[in-house]
Structure 1
């Protein structure tokens, strides 16, 4: 197994178990303790895990991983999710596109559509979609978050509340086992709520790594969304909440 594959697998084990010991990882991957320690140190330096003596745990629930790191993680899965979402949005539709690497992947997948009218608080999405002369693109005002191009704040909320659109394309940082939708930034949560309130159909787009992942701000529960697009079957406890609230699950 290549180092990058092992790193991804370690992250997945930590996500599933919450904590994993060095000994478990040595046995699981059949490599030396020194190799595992180097792996854990590398991942901790990238803020993908929290390094403990004798093992590793989930990273802090108060700080998200760096934007460029998140963009390359699970990129194939995000692309599949994005293609499925795009297939369900007709030409000429109106939609919000949220902050996040998976909503950005959806924007890429919409480049062959015609006549879309898009409102976004994501500078990266806006930059991409300016290449589409037949799209009507509206960029929300507010404070630019330089680390990822997100636009947030009171002005953003007021701006979004002026619209009523067909679709809201939302990302999320974590989904707790009780179905709670979690984020790291309180201001971003308020913006997501505004998008939800002003969308006729809310589509949550997220890869499987967000299931069971911790973050400190609660957006709400699964009853806020209409569709969940993801790449793997959610854990049983989350699946129960999805069914309870009659959310349409799309496995991509």
Structure 2
């Protein structure tokens, strides 16, 4: 296969998985490691990827990838994380779900919960939970972000400040190795910070692609989160930091390995 045909497929794998490795691509395409290194160098020079040790990741930037593309990324892992997260949400609690495809997956898993009061700034979450007749749904005000159905801005934050939630389930756009939760939209960051302040307990749902990306605005830290649900082992330094912060890590990667295709 020529590089003309490899490059689009390499980019598609990077978009789907968040990262590509030299060894993995060489095995996939049946070419040498040197050939893949040249491919990745070419793609990096074109601004399509960023080289990292052993492979490449999607380039950092100030803009998120499209909503539909995010919905299609890592779907099986998102479903598994959502199941694990929803299993720890009791019936009869007040709950906040924020913007993101991972929190939408959690909403799908809450359809059989009873007597929830869900507040959300995610129109998609509200539409999903309509099917749960015992769930009270409150949608914040705010400026509608048409791209993904999110409600952001001052009005959204003001609405959230009227509540004290038993639990918040949130997502983020990126997680760095220091444990900082990052996002692209400054208005969304302000809302997410308000959610953290107004919640007695917080769950973060973040798949492995979030560790391979960067975003410019800081929401907070994993130190502010009670439990993180993920599909990968955390880097050793970050795992140790979570132990010190008292942040529990639920890694569902073994469940994914044992799933029957």
TM-score range normalised by the length of the shorter chain: 0.7 to 0.9
SS at match of 1:189: helix
Q: Which residue of 2 aligns with 1:176?
A: 176
Query: Alignment length, in residue pairs?
Result: 236
Note the alpha carbon deviations across 1:148-194, whole angstroms, 9 max, x for none.
Answer: 00000100010000000111000011111111111111111111111
Equivalent residue for 2:193?
Answer: 193
Contact 1:98 1:170 survives alignment (8 Å): yes
Give how far 1:31 is off.
Answer: 4.4
Distance 1:129 1:10 in 2: 32
Tell me which residue corresponds to 1:207.
207
Q: Helix, strand or coil for the counterpart of 2:62?
A: coil
TM-score calculated relative to the size of structure 2: 0.80
Alpha-carbon spacing, 1:73–1:143, altered in 2? closer, same or farther (3 Å): same
Question: 1:238 is paired with a residue of what secondary structure?
Answer: helix
Corresponding residue number in structure 1 for 2:242: 242
Structure 1 length as normaliser, TM-score? 0.83
Structure 2, gaps ≥5 residues long: 1-5, 253-261
Closer, same or farther in 2 for the Cα pair 1:101/1:178, shift >3 Å?
same
Report the CA distance between 1:208 and its aligned residue: 1.2
* Residues 87-125 of structure 1: CA deviation (Å, up to 9, x unaligned): 111111110000000000000000011111000000000
> In structure 1, what is the Cα distance between the partners aligned to 2:93 and 2:100?
21
Q: How does 1:34-45 map to 2 (within 5 A)?
A: none
Distance 1:233-1:97 versus aligned 2 partners, 3 A rule: same
Contact 1:177–1:212 (8 Å) recurs in 2: no
Change in Cα spacing, 1:25 to 1:85, as seen in structure 2 (3 Å) is: closer
Secondary structure of 2:196 counterpart: helix
- Note if 1:140 corresponds to 2:140: yes
Q: Distance in 2 between matches of 1:137 and 1:14?
A: 33
Offset, 1:127: 0.9
In the TM superposition, residue 237 of structure 1 has moved relative to its aligned partner by 2.5
Q: Provide the rounded CA distance (Å) in 2 between the counterparts of 1:69 and 1:172.
A: 16
Q: Distance in 2 between matches of 1:99 and 1:111?
A: 18
Counterpart in the other structure of 1:29: 28
Q: 1:15 maps to which residue?
A: 19
> CA shift at 1:238, angstroms?
1.9
**Structure 1: gaps (5+ residues):** none
1:7 deviation in Å?
5.6
Following superposition, the deviation at residue 51 of structure 1 comes to 4.8
Q: 1:238 to 1:61 in 2, by over 3 A?
A: farther
Alignment RMSD (CA, Å) = 3.1
**Is the 8 Å Cα contact of residues 116 and 134 (structure 2) preserved in structure 1?**
yes
Distance in 2 of aligned mates of 1:85 and 1:27: 36
Aligned 8 A contact 1:50 1:56 in 2: no
- Residues 147-158 of structure 1 aligned to structure 2 (within 5 Å): 147-158=147-158
Q: Which residue matches 1:50? A: 48
Cα 1:207–1:109 change in 2 (3 A) is: same
